[in-house]
A and B are shown apart, each in its own frame.
Chain A
Amino acid sequence: MNCETCQLKELVVEPPEIREVLRCILHTILFHRALGLVRPKDVECELFDITYVQCEDHELEKKIDEKINQFIGWVEKHPNRKSQVCISFYEVKNKHATWFGNKIERFYWEQWYINLHIISPKPHGKSHNTKAHVVTGENAFEESNSRCAALESSLREVLFQIIKFVNEKKDHIPPLQNSEIVSYPYEISTPR
């Protein structure tokens, strides 16, 4: 079975935006891979004018939030760096019983790479001149707004990219073994 890989478009984000961006992307991916019976839940982004969809599953939300917190902790220690968050779907096969224990093999059939470029917010330039300081502040505000708008547009592109990928690639998806399970087994990997 082939492992399909999708490299999502790189997003330039600031630390306060990491949580919202990752939530949007991870939930969108999982909603397309939680093929069990779900009741969709619309979520309005707080920072962006985007509505994404969650599977109304508390365990899923909890696990995602834990991984996001883990990633944010790593970013705080390694600021201003490019990083990746990877979500992989696998199926468990061939439980080999060995002398040392049961060996569980995972066959990854799909991997998503969320590319983030973490930047630190630009501090306001210190200036003794009041007017210059005001101008600098205004420029920084406009620059921040434009950057935020660009990020929203990029995030929307990423979501469209996900939709396009899941529509085009379907043959590699393993059959549904149990409809009671919400989602295929998955794991979220963050830098260490």
Chain B
Amino acid sequence: MATSPSHSSPESAIIEQVITEFFAKSLHIILESRSPYVSSRNYTVDQFMSSPSSSCSSSSSMPRDKWFNLALRDCPAALENFDIWRKSNLEPLVIDIILIRRALVPDVARPLGGCLLRNFSENSDLALEPKSWKIVERWIVQYERHKSSSSKNHKDIRKCGTKNNGGSSCSSETAFYKKTYKRYIILFRSLYVFIRLLPTYKLFHELNSSGQICPLSLSHRISSSIQPFTQEDEAKMNQFTFVPIDTPRGRLSLSVQYLRTLEDIRSEPSAPLSLQFILDYIGSPTTDPFRRLKSLPSAQSSPALVSFTRQHSWSNDHGALASVPLCPSVACSEACGIRCNPSLCLPPLTHRNDHSPPVISEPQNAAVTHKNNMSFDEFWPSPFSPTSSPSSPAHLPGQRSPNALQSGSSQIDIAKAHPITASQTKACSSEGKLQIKMDTLRYGNYQTGPTLVKGFPSGKDDTEKLAELPSSSTQGPLSRSFSGSSLLDKFDDSGFACPFADYKDVTESCNRRSPDAVVGAVVQMLLTAAPLRQDLSNLCRPPQVFMDESLNPCVQHDQANTEQSECPASTSEVLASVLLKSKTAAEGLEELRRYKELKESILKQGASRSSDVDSGPKSAGTNDQS
């Protein structure tokens, strides 16, 4: 005869305890392999202490984690959630494993699966904001009570009671429990193995072992109600149900619905637009600077702030406008501008000894470059420039080119632009070019010292100057020198006749230099500028040849006047002396005009004399013709 079970009886308490521990164990196993960073794997201390609870019966002396002969480490997340849930034992336990995809926003800079994220600005960081989530698994643990008392379980219980000769229902239930205990054990063994074969475990394992912040993360949600999936989601999911275990008064069941594959979710593009620029930029310190500059957007594209702001970080004096440096190195110090190829930033031709602000006397395109040069002067840094110079054109109305970024990005295109200016400077002597190269290296690679000497032949002066440079690199990697020389090679390869060719783009891109650097660069340009006298000498060549014997070109005159005490042994020294005494282009042209007039006058005189001698016969001839 079946008797109605009494909840106050200890045997019923045992069954209740088993049911309670069944839920707890299920939750423990599931969360331990699905909840990153709170899994017991991350805890080194083994704790085999049963958590005190109000419903924990005194008869249960077995620690919780050893229930069902499966010793698990303490899982705080599971226990915490279970303590919250256990108030309603008869409600189903629904555990949703959720895959969260987060988007990176400018808040905190953190490594992201190999891609290094930089600060977007000095005061902003990157952060992960939840973007989308999806339930990838749903575990349902529930206890269904039998409505009818005359169930198979009761028959089995009675059998157990009869076998044990106890006769009472309590002892029969205990015997039944002992008989069915191995079923619980096997079920949890299967659960432990099965949960590690599901697709989500792989993701959990990756997240738990990487330690890096990833846009994907796993979370869980525990509830007591079952929210049905959509048909579309159900079609993508498999279901597995463990064989239910009967209890004297009900049945315990455990089932799972899981996505067959997570590849489609993981492969969904979720990277924000800014990340694409970051990827380009991340490769830039070790990649070719031209490659990096090519990939940079225009100044108008606001999300592309990473690289721009990096330059801003070392050129803080120049406001919010970002400019792309010519130097690829990420870790630019204040001397970053030095590492740039100064050949790109050289101003138009000016007199070397003209310390005053350059006069706009060049052709139109040169005037443009000169105008930009003024802004360039303002910002060009130089280690050799004085810290402050009253003559530094810091106050010059140099315009900050809105296309500074484009100019920086068009570093390679400088050779293609401004063919007129390139033609003007074709007459740069080889020595001048060499001087330019030396200065280039001096600016770009002064930290590497002797390597500069090795690469290029130079005169004594240059050698001495280079010897003064530090012999070891004090800042930055050696690769800077290679970048500088590579830049130089690039210009040579592209047919860039003279680094003086174009200044517009260069100067615009150099607007970020400090005033001291700009002044130093101007001084250097003036010192290394090709002599204007050369062009004039070329232009004057035909009349010079004509007048060489009679009037002597001003070169000789200048030499006679100014270089009496000097006997220049080489052409370069002659040119240098000529440079000192060279006149402006206007004066040269004026001189030319005078020479031409003089020539014409001489020719006329000669012609008139000859005409006077032949005036008689010629005039008769002329009359006959008319």
Contacts and interface: CB of A to CB of B under 8 A. Distances in A.
A35 B69 contact: yes
A32 B243 contact: no
Contacts of B201: 51
Contacts of B185: 35
Given A42-B196, A52-B196, A175-B179, A166 B70 contact: no
Contact of A32 (B66, B193, B197): B193
A37 B69 contact: yes
A97 to B, nearest CB: 29
A166 B194 CA distance: 12
B424 to A, nearest CB: 55
Interface string A128-147: 00000000000000000000
Interface residues on B, range: 20 to 34
Greatest chain A CB density within 10 A among B66, B71, B183, B190 is at B190
Interface in A149-184: 156, 159-160, 162-163, 166-168, 170, 173, 175-176, 179
B451 to A, nearest CB: 42
Interface string A80-106: 000000000000000000000000000
A38 B186 contact: no
A190 interface: no
Contacts of A42: 196
B191 to A, nearest CB: 9
A38 B196 contact: no
B242 interface: yes
A121 interface: no
B180 to A, nearest CB: 9
Contacts of A175: 179, 182
A53 B191 CA distance: 11
B197 A53 contact: no
B568 to A, nearest CB: 65
Given A37-B66, A37-B71, A175-B179, A51 B196 contact: yes
Interface residues of A, number: 28
A166 B182 contact: no
A98 to B, nearest CB: 33
Given A51-B201, A176-B182, A38 B187 contact: no
B252 to A, nearest CB: 13
Interface in B189-238: 189-190, 192-194, 196-197, 201-202, 205
Contact of B242 (A35, A53, A167): A167
A22 to B, nearest CB: 17
Nearest to A37: B69
Given A35-B182, A52-B196, A53-B196, A167 B190 contact: yes
Interface of A: 28, 31-32, 35-40, 42, 49-53, 156, 159-160, 162-163, 166-168, 170, 173, 175-176, 179
8 contacts: A35-B186, A51-B197, A52-B193, A53-B196, A167-B190, A167-B242, A173-B182, A175-B182
Report, nearest first, the 4 A-B pairs whose CB atoms are least far apart.
A39-B71, A51-B196, A37-B69, A167-B243
